[in-house]
Structure 1
Amino acid sequence: MDLQAKGIWFPLVIALLLILYVLVMKKRQLTWRQIYMTFGIVCSAAWILDIITSIYFEAFVFGSNHGIGIADLLVISTVPSCLSIIYLNYWTEARRWLLPILFTLISLLIEWLSMNAGYYRHLYWGLHYSLINFFIIYRWLLPWHKRIIGVHHARI
């Protein structure tokens, strides 16, 4: 499971905390069905993009140098998906600039702390690329996803 990878404790703790928060947060904008759809779509996109950029382009390394382990896949599956669900649960048109900035900073902080814990290393990547990607995802892609799945107001 690659639990011996240096610093793996940090992203696993973050993943656990995010999962717990998603389970107990007041569902303001999303139903459980929309949470399920968002989790699956974001999880799939994260797997594809992270595996392509880390293995084929060698842009960064998770955990250890032997590729992506099961613990890495758990982190790749849960952290972006849970952050997206939390983001969409609080996203409104009135917060269309505040929330993308806030969640971009949260995502950058998680990435930076993962690097400091020794779990994640940049090779041909940099935080400035992550900043651009996170902002595009939070400002435009996730609100677009929200429109597609038909979120108006959650009725649970």
Structure 2
Amino acid sequence: MKQPDFALTQGWWYPAILSAVLLLVVFFMPKKRISWKEIYITFGIIGYIVWMVDMTIAAPFDFFDIGDPKKEGLPEILLYGIIPSCLSVIYLNLYKEKKKWFWVILFVLVSLILEWLTVKVGLMKRWNTWWSTPVHFVAYAFFLPWQLKFIRRNQN
């Protein structure tokens, strides 16, 4: 069985710092619209979805490389398991239905900038950041609000 290689590749520090900052934001932000239970569920679901998409679509078709293409480790854990989940939780905590498109556009732009920086620090290779725009848009505009409604249904 192959062991994860936690060798620190070029740009490893970027997802490490970003993950630490986003985790601190999630832990210390005032919980205005989302509970700890909803944070827990959202964190797990989003992390799972991102890993599954990477394993079933991105990796087999070799869309991009993170660090050394022959090794996986710390950067993947942070980029797939922590950062998207934190952004989703922060989004849902700020999201208001009457200002939906403001929050959707803001978080799509933030996500694209953070992804672009992943490319610029040399961690993500062979990737065009614009390819993610439809995915970010669907996630923020439709999936995350639906998921929160789904989690909340049948609650007393």
TM-score by length of 2: 0.89
Query: In the alignment, residue 39 of structure 1 is paired with which amino acid?
Result: F
SS of 1:96's partner is helix
Equivalent-residue separation in structure 1 for 2:99 and 2:53 (angstroms): 27
2:136 is matched with 134
Stretches of structure 2 that go unaligned for 5 or more consecutive residues are none
User: What does 1:1-156 correspond to in 2, within 5 Å?
Assistant: 1-122=5-126, 125-150=127-152
> 66-75 vs 137-146, which deviates more?
66-75
The amino acid across from 1:148 in the alignment is F
Question: RMSD in angstroms over aligned alpha carbons?
Answer: 1.5
Conserved 8 A contact 1:39-1:81: yes
Size of the alignment, in residue pairs? 149
- Letter of the 1:26 partner, please give it: P
Structure 1 residue 75 displacement after superposition:
2.8
Q: Which amino acid aligns with 2:109?
A: L
CA contact under 8 A between 2:15 and 2:75: conserved in structure 1?
A: no
- Offset, 1:132: 1.1
**1:85 CA drift (Å):** 0.1
Corresponding residue of 1:154: none
Q: Note the alpha carbon deviations across 1:26-83, whole angstroms, 9 max, x for none.
A: 0001111110000010010011112333321101111211143244123310000000
Q: Which runs of 4+ in 1 moved over 4 A?
A: none
% identical equivalent positions:
34
1:11–1:75 CA contact under 8 A, matched in 2: yes
Amino acid at match of 1:49: V
Distance (Å, rounded) in 2 between the aligned partners of 1:71 and 1:120: 10
TM-score (norm 1): 0.89
Displacement after TM superposition at 1:24 (Å)? 0.3
**Alpha-carbon separation, structure 2, partners of 1:55 and 1:67:** 12
